Structure 1
Amino acid sequence: MKIAVIGSTHAGTAAVSNMATLYPEAQITVYERNDNVSFLSCGLALYVRGVVDDPQGLFYSSPEQLQQLGITMKMQHDVRNIDTTNHLIKATNLVTGDDVVDSYDKLVMTTGSWPVTPPIEGIHLDNILLAKNYNQANTIIEKAQNAEHVTVVGAGYIGVELVEAFEKSGKKVSLIDGADRILNKYLDKEFTDQVEDDFRNRGIDLLLNETVQRFEGTKKGVEAVVTTHGRVETDLVIMCVGFRPNTELLKGKVDMLENGAIKVNEYMQTSDPAIFAAGDSCAVKYNPTGEHAYIPLATNAVRMGTLVARNLMGPIMRNVGTQGTSGLHIYDLNMASTGLNETSAQLLGVHVKSITINEKHRPEFMPTSENVQLKVSFHPDTRKILGAQVLSKVDVTQSINTLSVCIQSGMTVDELGFVDFFFQPHFNQPWNFLNKAGLAAAQ
């Protein structure tokens, strides 16, 4: 059996590592356009900031390790065309320029995603950079050494992490986003207000509800960003406005969402029975709504890649779906979210009720006791939990993993009030704050 894998980031690496063990007789070939595999882009800001001294720690595999498993690694090979009728792949060796034609019995698409680059005037000026892969991270570090004013466009996770990294390294930093607040996809306003206040207190310039109109500069590089409300002089711009799935190779050949994310069934199979997909290139079942959604997270990718390997020869283990659970540490604040918040629910046309509590994370007779802000959203009729958000100076983010399980299992907010959690004064209170949210919702 010939298995071809296109792309080797999180999902691709997880898939081929497992396939090599499960199908030792198979001929597995990986096509990867870069010269490395499995870069943890979620650690990019830590690398830029210098928290990660050895960048090799951000790779959880290598071409050599995969080759040792018996996998054929065609690095720096760009796949140009897929003939799904005759099961043929056409690729170009980016080093030699030679064309390669290969056949497959099973094809695994783990081509990942790529940063969105809006067609803004001047976007191709020097010192306007993207933030996704290892080479781009190295370019950011190199360019930032001589930059005095860094402007980040896009206030999602990577954008705000880079803002923190640049501010801590002594740069003047501006953050631009078209939404009226940062992190709006993950947290509701009462949470993001606290992060924004912290940013402003540290001298970070927040230009929210503004869109970039054009970039100005010379042959030497960018000199200013012109927005709908003004002009920002800068000498380095990092674009972090989102990601799009890398799926052009299969456009019109398998079912996709409008944004190009490949639709897969619960066994990771596309509408073409010979083609499987995983990771940022495809959509996944979103449990709070039951619909396909595009949620490019490393956690989703490695799970999906592993499931591809399990199900390649037949339906063995189904994908239980995702809640889009994620967390973030910015300065002194720890925050995490899962499922729907009020903002995302409104965008999706889903009606939710919410309960917000503010509690000390442990008894106040202890030497320290920090405030925990928790918000739980639930269906007003079924009372099933649909989402949650937490923010605190103490790390209680694992509570969101617990609530992710609650959403996945269909627990009601009333049942949450009486879940069995341990009590120990070092860690929590006799009534865990998760219990207190459930009790408050029942009143």
Structure 2
Amino acid sequence: MGKRVVVVGGVAGGASAAAKAKRENPELEVVVYEKSGWVSYGACGLPYVLSGEIPRLEKLVARTPEEFRKQGVMVHTRHEVVDIDPSLKTLTVFDHTEGRTFQDRYDHLVLATGARPTIPPIPGTEQAGVFTLRNMEDGEALLKALEGARRAAILGAGYIGLEVAEAFRKRGLEVTLLEARDRPLPHWDPEVGALLKEELERHGVEVWTGVRVTALRGSGRVEAVETSEGVVPTDLVLIATGIRPNVELAQAMGVALGPTGAIATDERMRTNLEEVYAAGDVAESFYQVLKRPYWLPLGDVANKHGRTAGAVIAGKEARFHGVAGTAIFKAFGLAVATTGLSLEAALKEGYAAKKVFIKSRDGAHYYPGSQPLFVELVYEEGTERLLGGAVVAFDHGALRIDALAALLSRGGTVEDLLALDLAYAPPFSPVWDPLLIAAQEVR
């Protein structure tokens, strides 16, 4: 019998690691333990199930436990790994269905325990009607709550808060979005936040920025959000103020954490312990812009982590080369994509940074239906090295961000951007692509 691979966590990173390891080396015995009742699903699709655009949660599942078993991977849902002894290479597992505890062993171990929402220290968060959105169970609970709700309040205007604001409006709810900073998407620069605020308000979302939430009022069930600027009556509250990696199990067994608070790994996803790997939202990545560890809890990154770990365990040559910090999402008709550092972040890092922000179009001005498109470039003064950028569009034009991400990953400059041979035809771009127009503004 081949060596035994145990994967703790069966969503993006864990599922990818298990599948890749078995595919590359069929002799491996691969077992996955997942605490919840779901495995191998696209959590990024949850807002679109809430909106009704995706008809049911099951559509998000890439592979069921039965499909894994047909491929030779044994998946156990509602099984929680509660302790690991790396010296003996043993695990203690609690079966939530049968209420029993048992022991298992491993030759190779993958920690893919993910991340969980952070709950702000305000009174009333324990009440019924207060939700987070991280996993399928969260999605199930929110779908049920939406059936009788008329009003919703969302705490936090990051990716999840913005996507769910759209979903709730599509369900016909009155929506109030509450953000402590002075703009939506507060980790990026103000121009992007202003465009987002305009789009949200155009679709009926009430946006409160620079507001401090002091309590969630109610008598066992939430009825209102108390803030520094007034009271918001509501039937339900979504807390979307951030997440943190689930590192407690890793810490208890002696796995080292990195400077971000997630598990430190090398480019082969190995931890400091022999034959122990980490993948997904619990693990750090290498940041190609700042050349240091970075935590980017996104689904595509998690899958790449898992694929790398699985290949290495199977004896193949594989490396994860890091991230440029690229992300994209939509709020109603507006698509927002960012990569690398905002100007605010670049200045905090000590760069002599500058930016340009331009308005162009996603097609030739004369082409029917062309719409505004905005580009921000952040660069280092003097060297003109690209440090980051954003593209805001009303359609798939925001995918231009991928060209910037590719340049960032290779230390590209404004001159390198100007030298690119970008695609042109009137339905897709002006004769000068908006990226090139922005680059020309630097000169």
Structure 1, 419-428 or 55-64: larger mean CA deviation: 419-428
**Superposition TM-score, scaled by structure 2 size:** 0.95
Partner of 2:184: 182
**Which whole-Å CA distance do the structure 2 matches of 1:278 and 1:381 have between them?**
38
| Alpha-carbon distance change, 313 to 64 in structure 1, aligned in 2, over 3 angstroms | closer
Q: CA deviation at 1:14?
A: 0.9
Residue identity (%): 28
| Alpha-carbon distance change, 315 to 343 in structure 1, aligned in 2, over 3 angstroms | farther
Deviation string, structure 1 residues 40-74 (Cα, Å, up to 9, x no partner): 12111110010001322211111111111111222
Match of 1:48 among 47, 50, 68: 50
Partner of 1:379: 380
Deviation string, structure 1 residues 410-430 (Cα, Å, up to 9, x no partner): 221112112112322222233
Partner of 2:149: 147
Structure 1, 46-55 or 367-376: larger mean CA deviation: 367-376
**Which whole-Å CA distance do the structure 1 matches of 2:93 and 2:348 have between them?**
40
Partner of 2:400: 399
Partner of 2:160: 158
Partner of 2:250: 250
Partner of 2:86: 84
**Which whole-Å CA distance do the structure 2 matches of 1:260 and 1:421 have between them?**
39
Unaligned runs of 5+ in 1: none
**Which whole-Å CA distance do the structure 2 matches of 1:384 and 1:2 have between them?**
47
Which amino acid in structure 1 is aligned with residue 108 of structure 2? K
Structure 1, 363-372 or 56-65: larger mean CA deviation: 363-372
Q: CA deviation at 1:409?
A: 1.7
**Which whole-Å CA distance do the structure 1 matches of 2:203 and 2:348 have between them?**
32
Partner of 2:265: 264
Q: Is the 8 A contact 1:247 1:281 kept in 2?
A: yes
**Which whole-Å CA distance do the structure 1 matches of 2:201 and 2:223 have between them?**
23
User: How many residues are aligned here?
Assistant: 440
Q: CA RMSD in A?
A: 1.7
Q: CA deviation at 1:331?
A: 1.6
Q: CA deviation at 1:387?
A: 1.0
Q: CA deviation at 1:300?
A: 0.4
1:117 aligns with 2:119: yes
Q: CA deviation at 1:314?
A: 5.6
Deviation string, structure 1 residues 192-220 (Cα, Å, up to 9, x no partner): 1011122223332222222222212113x
Q: CA deviation at 1:349?
A: 4.1
Deviation string, structure 1 residues 256-312 (Cα, Å, up to 9, x no partner): 135531011111111113111111001111111111111100010011110111222
Q: Is the 8 A contact 2:112 2:282 kept in 1?
A: yes
Deviation string, structure 1 residues 2-49 (Cα, Å, up to 9, x no partner): 111000111111111111111211111111111110221211111001
Partner of 1:72: 74
Partner of 2:37: 35
Deviation string, structure 1 residues 162-192 (Cα, Å, up to 9, x no partner): 111112222111111221111122x321111
1:61 aligns with 2:57: no
Unaligned runs of 5+ in 2: none
| Alpha-carbon distance change, 18 to 51 in structure 1, aligned in 2, over 3 angstroms | same
SS of 1:251's partner is helix
SS of 1:241's partner is coil
Q: CA deviation at 1:397?
A: 1.7
SS of 1:397's partner is helix
Deviation string, structure 1 residues 60-89 (Cα, Å, up to 9, x no partner): 111111111111222211111111222111
**Which whole-Å CA distance do the structure 2 matches of 1:423 and 1:161 have between them?**
31
**Superposition TM-score, scaled by structure 1 size:** 0.95
Partner of 1:356: 357
Partner of 2:222: 222
**Which whole-Å CA distance do the structure 1 matches of 2:50 and 2:379 have between them?**
38
Partner of 1:414: 415
Q: Is the 8 A contact 1:251 1:260 kept in 2?
A: no
Q: Is the 8 A contact 2:288 2:324 kept in 1?
A: yes
Q: Is the 8 A contact 1:108 1:277 kept in 2?
A: yes
| Alpha-carbon distance change, 204 to 360 in structure 1, aligned in 2, over 3 angstroms | closer
Q: Is the 8 A contact 1:78 1:92 kept in 2?
A: yes
SS of 2:5's partner is strand
SS of 2:440's partner is helix
